[in-house]
C-alpha cells in the first residue's frame, strides 16, 4: 500500500519521540508535564497532518507544534519551575565541566521567551536560523537578533557572577 502523509507523520513521530520529549522537558521541567506536552503534540500533529501542504516541511512543522504546546502548557498550568539549585541532581556537581554545562542549561531555561526557544532549537536541536524562523513563524533577521540578545544576556550574567 502506498504510504500517505499519515503514515509518514506517525513514522516521524515514533522516530523522533526522544527529541520531542527533551525539548518539551526543557520548557516544563517535569516528567509528567513533558509527557503531557508530547502527547498533546502527537494528537495535534495527527489531527492536522492531512492538511500539511508541504510534506518535506514535516520536521519544522512538528517542532512548531511541540514548542507551541509546551508554551501553552506553561501558560495554562503556570508550571514554570524556578531554578532552585537544590533541584539539580547531585551527581552533576562531581564533575566540574559538566557542572558548567548544567549551569548554562539552567540559565538558558531561565531566559524565558523568546530567547530560550531560539537557543534550544539552534544549539540543542541543530536547527538552522532559517528553520527556526519557520518554526517560530518569524523571519531570519528576527531570529538572529533574538539569538544575539539571548547570548549577550547569558554572557553578561556569567561575567557578573564569575567576576
Q: Which of residues 40-59 bind another protein (CB under 8 A)?
A: 42-43, 46-47, 49-51, 53-57
Residue 84 Cβ vs another protein, minimum distance, rounded to whole Å: 16
* Least distance between another protein and beta carbon 112 (Å): 15
Give the C-alpha separation, 56 to 18, whole Å.
21
Q: Which grid cell sits at 135?
A: 518554526
Answer for which of 63, 65, 107, 118 binds another protein (CB under 8 A) is: 107
* 110 is an interface residue for another protein by CB under 8 A: no
Number of residues that bind another protein (CB under 8 A): 62
Number of H helices, E strands in the chain: 7, 0
Closest alpha carbon to 158 in 88, 115, 111, 92 = 111
3-state secondary structure 83-136: CCHHHCCHHHHHCHHHHHHHHHHHHHHHHCCCHHHHHHHHHHCCCCHHHHHHHC
Interface residues with another protein (CB under 8 A) are 1-2, 4-6, 10, 13-14, 17-18, 21-22, 25-26, 31, 35, 38-39, 42-43, 46-47, 49-51, 53-57, 92, 97-98, 100-108, 119-120, 122-124, 126-130, 134, 144, 147-148, 151-152, 154-155, 158, 162
Amino acid at each position: 500500500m502506498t504510504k500517505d502523509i499519515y503514515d509518514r507523520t506517525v513514522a516521524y513521530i515514533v522516530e523522533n519521540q526522544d527529541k520531542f520529549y527533551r525539548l518539551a522537558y526543557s520548557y516544563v521541567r517535569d516528567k509528567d508535564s513533558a509527557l503531557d506536552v508530547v502527547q498533546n503534540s502527537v494528537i495535534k500533529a495527527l489531527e492536522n497532518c492531512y492538511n500539511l501542504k508541504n510534506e518535506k516541511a514535516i520536521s519544522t512543522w512538528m517542532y512548531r507544534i511541540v514548542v507551541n504546546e509546551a508554551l501553552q502548557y506553561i501558560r495554562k498550568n503556570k508550571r514554570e519551575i524556578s531554578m532552585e539549585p537544590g533541584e539539580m541532581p547531585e551527581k552533576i556537581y562531581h564533575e566540574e565541566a559538566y557542572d558548567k554545562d548544567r549551569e548554562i542549561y539552567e540559565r538558558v531555561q531561565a531566559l524565558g521567551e523568546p530567547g530560550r526557544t531560539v537557543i534550544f532549537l539552534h544549539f540543542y536541536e541543530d536547527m538552522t536560523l532559517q528553520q527556526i524562523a519557520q518554526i517560530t513563524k518569524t523571519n531570519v533577521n528576527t531570529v538572529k537578533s533574538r539569538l544575539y540578545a539571548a547570548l549577550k544576556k547569558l554572557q553578561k550574567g556569567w561575567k557578573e557572577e564569575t567576576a
